[in-house]
């Protein structure tokens, strides 16, 4: 069995990837920068645009500097580097976004993720190294210890509904997203890492346009919650850096034969139990 070095193996998606990988995962310690195999997958990243209020350098240091310290160890003509990116890089793109859609990200997290993609492509083309870029949809599922209204907000909201706490809902839930369970996301990443075309980009998502308000109604029904839901207008910062609607075109991923095993309805039901 082939081996794959996993940077960020203890995170929400990285840890799930290690469970489902068809290759032998080689977790790379947090302080290490060199891969242990010719194939690598890289999950290290910040997760939202709000670091700008506390540390201007955090997104730059994490998403760019650490990445540069890692890729300098890649071997020309031998290494393949699979970089985990985000739908945030698209910005306000025409929907559904394809891998060829123009990217105009807003916010420090979004911009540094796009810059990381471009720096990686330039470096790999310069030194003859293979790469893949995988842009993830909204990932949900149990076990995310850092779930919040900024990251894995669906899990965060379900927990609040279970506790019958008051819910503040942007746009009254009238916006669209692309969701996929972390197990299927990890499976999709594994598929791309083993069978995906080299030196290209893949959207990793369901390809389904989901109205957030419909998810909220499902959660309320499943949890029998008594939470009061209050529609609110997003703050100016959120309106500036966060697009209102987003969903993917995932034909390229499906072309590899990928199929979800956990529907959104089933995944929500499990989280609500």
- Please compute the mean of the pLDDT values over residues 223-227 and round it to a whole number: 95
- Domain ranges (residues) in the chain: 3-272
- For tokens 């990837």, the residue is 17
Over 80: is that where the pLDDT of 130 sits?
A: yes
Fold of 3-272: Rossmann fold (3.40.50)
Percent of the chain predicted with pLDDT > 90? 93
* Residue 147 pLDDT class (50, 70, 90 cuts): low
Q: Which of 137, 138, 132 is nearest to 195 (CA)?
A: 132
- Please compute the mean of the pLDDT values over residues 81-99 and round it to a whole number: 97
Span 228-239, pLDDT tens digits? 999 999 999 999
- Please compute the mean of the pLDDT values over residues 165-178 and round it to a whole number: 94
Q: Which of 119, 158, 166 is nearest to 140 (CA)?
A: 158
Percent of the chain predicted with pLDDT > 70? 99
Q: What is the pLDDT of residue 192?
A: 98
Q: What is the pLDDT of residue 22?
A: 98
Q: What is the pLDDT of residue 170?
A: 92
Please state the three-class secondary structure of 230-253 as a single string: EEECCCHHHHHHCCCCCCECCHHH
């Amino acid at each position: 069995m082939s081996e794959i070095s996993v940077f960020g193996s203890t995170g929400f998606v990285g840890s799930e990837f290690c469970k489902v990988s068809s290759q032998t995962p080689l977790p790379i310690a947090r302080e290490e920068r060199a891969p242990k195999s010719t194939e690598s997958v890289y999950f290290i990243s910040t997760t939202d645009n709000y670091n700008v209020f506390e540390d201007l350098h955090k997104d730059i240091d994490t998403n760019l500097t650490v990445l540069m310290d890692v890729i300098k160890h890649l071997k020309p003509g031998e290494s393949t580097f699979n970089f985990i990116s985000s739908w945030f890089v698209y910005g306000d793109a025409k929907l559904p976004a394809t891998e060829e859609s123009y990217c105009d990200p807003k916010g420090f997290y979004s911009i540094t993720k796009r810059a990381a993609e471009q720096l990686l492509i330039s470096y790999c083309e310069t030194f003859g190294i293979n790469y893949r870029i995988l842009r993830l949809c909204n990932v949900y599922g149990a076990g995310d210890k850092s779930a919040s209204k900024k990251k894995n907000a669906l899990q965060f909201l379900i927990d609040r509904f279970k506790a019958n706490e008051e819910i503040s809902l942007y746009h009254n839930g009238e916006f669209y997203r692309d969701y996929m369970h972390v197990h299927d996301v990890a499976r999709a990443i594994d598929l791309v890492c083993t069978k995906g075309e080299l030196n290209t980009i893949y959207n990793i998502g369901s390809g389904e346009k989901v109205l957030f308000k419909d998810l909220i109604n499902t959660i309320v029904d499943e949890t029998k919650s008594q939470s009061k839901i209050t529609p609110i207008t997003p703050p100016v910062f959120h309106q500036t850096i966060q697009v209102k609607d987003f969903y993917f075109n995932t034909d390229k991923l499906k072309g590899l034969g990928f199929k979800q095993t956990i529907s959104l309805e089933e995944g929500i039901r499990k989280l609500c139990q």
